[in-house]
């Protein structure tokens, strides 16, 4: 499932920022300002100012808020959190044609990279929630993983961040458990 041209990259950026901290292993992947810059550039965030250590710290503080959105038990909880992100990062919706076609931007034109990111990510996640439902937002069900993802499957059946990694691990573990159970019963 695709959401919209504008929200897809922002949704991916939201996932990627949250997943820069491995909560299972306690491993930090957003190690320095250069890593933060690379993340922004990869997702088309305008670097009208050079991110600083303060921006890095603010991005790290934003991660648990966005993780909470993905894990929220109710849409109202997720929306309230995202509305607060918009307020905290000075969201000012406006239309622009800077690339030749009119489209909505939610960060002010003079916003720093982190404010751009936060406003774009919040609006993208709100777009998912309001068009497809909060049940599209997930935390991986893998026993050794806690990454977040947006379920883009048609029937909303995805349980793992990666069917090839976490999904296969879970299926292999279930298979081994069945074999042990069968062997113990024989």
pLDDT tens digits, one per residue of 142-170: 988 999 999 988 888 899 998 788 977 76
Start-to-end CA distance of the chain, whole Å, equals: 46
Sign of the alpha-carbon dihedral angle for 90, 7, 131, 166: negative
CB distance 172 to 165 below 8 Å: no
Q: How far apart are CA 153 and CA 181, in angstroms?
A: 33
Residues forming a β-bridge with 21: 28
Q: Tokens 């969201």 belong to which residue?
A: 91
Instruction: Read off the pTM.
Output: 0.85
Q: How far apart are CA 86 and CA 59, in angstroms?
A: 14
Q: Does the pLDDT value for residue 113 go beyond 70?
A: yes
Q: How far apart are CA 134 and CA 96, in angstroms?
A: 29
| Token couple for 101 | 């076609």
Q: What confidence category does residue 134 fall into, taking pLDDT thresholds of 50, 70 and 90?
A: very high
Q: How far apart are CA 20 and CA 31, in angstroms?
A: 9
Mean pLDDT of 30-38: 97
The proportion of the chain whose per-residue pLDDT surpasses 70, expressed as a percent, equals: 92
pLDDT digits over 50-104, tens only? 999 999 999 999 999 999 999 999 999 999 999 999 999 999 988 988 889 998 8
What was the pLDDT predicted at 125? 95
Q: Does the pLDDT value for residue 6 go beyond 50?
A: no
């Amino acid at each position: 499932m695709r959401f919209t041209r504008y929200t897809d990259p922002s949704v991916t950026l939201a996932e990627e920022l949250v997943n820069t901290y491995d909560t299972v292993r306690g491993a930090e992947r957003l190690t320095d300002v250069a890593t933060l810059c690379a993340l922004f550039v990869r997702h088309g965030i305008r670097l009208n100012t050079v991110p600083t250590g303060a921006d890095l710290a603010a991005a790290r503080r934003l991660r648990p808020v966005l993780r909470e959105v993905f894990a929220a038990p109710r849409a109202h909880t997720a929306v309230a959190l995202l509305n607060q992100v918009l307020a905290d990062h000075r969201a000012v919706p406006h239309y622009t044609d800077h690339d030749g076609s009119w489209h909505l931007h939610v960060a002010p034109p003079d916003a720093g990279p982190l404010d751009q990111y936060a406003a774009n990510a919040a609006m993208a996640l709100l777009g998912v929630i309001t068009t497809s439902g909060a049940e599209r937002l997930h935390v991986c069900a893998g026993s050794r993983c806690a990454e977040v993802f947006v379920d883009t499957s048609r029937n909303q059946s995805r349980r793992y961040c990666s069917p090839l990694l976490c999904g296969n691990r879970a299926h292999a573990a279930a298979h081994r458990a069945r074999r042990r159970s069968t062997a113990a019963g024989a």
